Amino acid sequence: MGIKESLGKVIEDKRTLAVIIILAILWRAYISLDEEIAFWESMCSGIALILLGWILFAYFYGRAAKLKGWIISNRVYLGFGVCLCVINIFVLVYYGMRWYRLVHVETYLPLDFILRDVRYVALVVFYCAVIWSAGYLKKMHEDYTALSEKRTLLHIVSPLLFPRVKKLKEMSVWELLGTVIMDERTLIVIIGLTFLWRIFITFDKQIMLWESACSGIALFIMGWLFFAYICSMPAKIRDWSGLVRVYHGLSTGVIAVNIYVIVYYAMEWYGLVGSGGIMKVYVPLDFVFRDISYFALVIFYCASIALSKYLKRAHEGYSLLSADVSKA
């Protein structure tokens, strides 16, 4: 085993990732003792996240472009890359606006530092979950290609060989609903409606309680229903341990984002109730950052849903190939 492989195994080890998360929590606790975050503290936090995020994106994008032998594996890596890219852009925008003092108030001013700490830890957990999944994604690809070597012809055409797609009349209500929601066209419509919604509610440059409630509840439903779905999948695919671990990693990343969303809206609603249901945005670019954050979260959830569809297809393709090999 070379130095590169050894280093990769150390980084992907769950004990290493647990240490990273603990250090992130201790770091944020330390810099928040005075309930203020100095510029150099923000710089250290931001640079660490930016480097980690874009290094991970480069890795996943590189794997998606270079891997040979199984097109679904490329799509899965690309799906993770898109999710990372969305979160990375959000991090860049946030710290860029924070360092240039373009963002002042996010939710409830006296306790804004708590939201920043929760967001930072949630992002670190998300990145660690992606790192943990990376090793098992590699194992998935190796498992499939090892099987495919025993059935060369099937290996060549396998991207097109999945169990026959059910007709609409053959599907149950839940299957039909899942098919519609995971369709790329549905996800594009959701993103488009989100864009129009945020334009509509930011015309007056103030936030009303009912607007914030609609935005938050929509994210809650989207995030937690998706989390419930990916948590239910491992029970259906126990025959492939690598994919089970990938689902575990994805669910960990999603729940970290979901918890951040809960904390954000809980603090925002608390501030809105205390101000009579209306929170005026006095700093011109504060509302712009809120819109960018919301848009990024919706795209992240949509990208994750699309990723889960390819994970499901990966299992279908693997099961088909495994069954064929076992008959030989």
Residue 186 has pLDDT above 80, yes or no: yes
Q: What does the mean pLDDT of the chain come to?
A: 83
**Which of 144, 105, 127, 152 lies closest to 57 in space, CA to CA?**
127
How open is the CA angle 145-81-64, to the nearest 5 degrees? Answer: 30
Residue range(s) defining the domain that contains residue 217: 3-327
Q: What is the pLDDT of residues 90-136, one digit of tens each?
A: 999 999 988 888 776 666 666 778 889 999 999 999 999 999 998 88
Residue 174 has pLDDT above 80, yes or no: no
Structure-derived torsion over alpha carbons of residues 233, 239, 243, 244, reported in degrees to the nearest 10:
50
Q: What is the pLDDT of residues 261-300, one digit of tens each?
A: 999 999 888 877 766 666 655 556 777 888 899 999 999 9
Decide: 283 and 104 in contact? Cβ < 8 Å.
yes
| DSSP character string of 156-170 | HHGGG--SPPPPGGG
Q: What is the pLDDT of residue 160?
A: 45
Neighbours of 29 (CB within 10 A): 11
**Which of 297, 16, 227, 260 lies closest to 123 in space, CA to CA?**
260
Q: What is the pLDDT of residues 69-83, one digit of tens each?
A: 788 888 999 999 999
To 10 degrees, what angle do helices 184-201 and 173-182 make? 70
Q: Report the number of secondary-structure helices (H) and strands (E) in the chain.
A: 11, 2
To 10 degrees, what angle do helices 286-327 and 112-148 make? 20
Q: What is the pLDDT of residue 169?
A: 58
Residue 25 has pLDDT above 90, yes or no: yes
- Quick one: tokens of 54? 């874009």
Q: How many domains does the chain have?
A: 1
Neighbours of 319 (CB within 10 A): 15
Q: What is the pLDDT of residue 55?
A: 94
Q: Could you list the beta-strand ranges (E) of the chain.
A: 206-208, 278-280
Residue 153 has pLDDT above 60, yes or no: no
Decide: 115 and 264 in contact? Cβ < 8 Å.
yes
pTM surpassing 0.85?
yes
